[in-house]
């Protein structure tokens, strides 16, 4: 199986399991067995799972960087919504500057580590 097909299959499996999980939660909520509203504050963690899915396997450098951004945004949203470490939307924006700078510093290392043959456009 090619790496592209492997990635597509893994992505379909992940999102299929997410949809099944959401369906089970809604079904149990409709049956008054659980309260689905208690799960809503965890939705940013779905972004983290999607980002991890982008970074594992054999991604291109662009896919890997995109996955890191997705993980960062998911963790940031979760931390802000849960007010972890006192973070709010207003006081946590410098984290985006730090992440952007970190990406610029790590971009050459990431580009050397991952195959350049999959790169269709340079970012």
3-class SS letters over 31-52: CCCCCHHHHHHHCHHHHHHHHH
Angle at 6 between CA 116 and CA 19, to 5 degrees: 120
C-alpha R_g of the chain: 18
pLDDT, tens digit (0-9, with 9 covering 90-100), for 1-15:
566 677 678 778 888
pLDDT recorded at residue 121: 47
- Other C-beta atoms within 10 Å of 95: how many? 15
- Other C-beta atoms within 10 Å of 51: how many? 21
Q: Can you give the residue ranges of every domain in the chain? A: 3-113
- Identify which has the larger pLDDT, 84 or 120: 84
Q: Whose CA is closest to 53, among 94, 13, 103, 23?
A: 13
The answer to whether the pTM exceeds 0.85 is no
pLDDT beyond 60 at 110:
yes
Pair 51, 71: CB distance under 8 Å: yes
pLDDT, tens digit (0-9, with 9 covering 90-100), for 51-106:
988 888 777 888 888 899 999 999 999 999 988 999 988 998 899 899 999 989 98
Output the average pLDDT for the chain.
Answer: 84
pLDDT beyond 90 at 107:
no
């Amino acid at each position: 199986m090619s790496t592209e097909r492997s990635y597509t299959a893994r992505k379909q499996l992940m999102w299929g399991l997410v949809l099944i999980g959401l369906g089970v939660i809604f079904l149990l909520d409709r049956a008054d067995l659980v309260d689905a509203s208690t799960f809503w504050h965890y939705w940013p963690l779905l972004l983290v799972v999607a980002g991890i899915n982008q970074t594992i396997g054999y991604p291109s450098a662009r896919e890997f960087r995109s996955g890191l951004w997705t993980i960062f945004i998911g963790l940031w949203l979760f931390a802000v919504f849960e007010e972890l470490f006192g973070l709010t939307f207003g006081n946590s924006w410098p984290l985006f500057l730090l992440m952007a700078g970190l990406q610029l510093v790590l971009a050459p290392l990431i580009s050397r580590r991952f195959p350049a043959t999959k790169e269709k456009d340079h970012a």
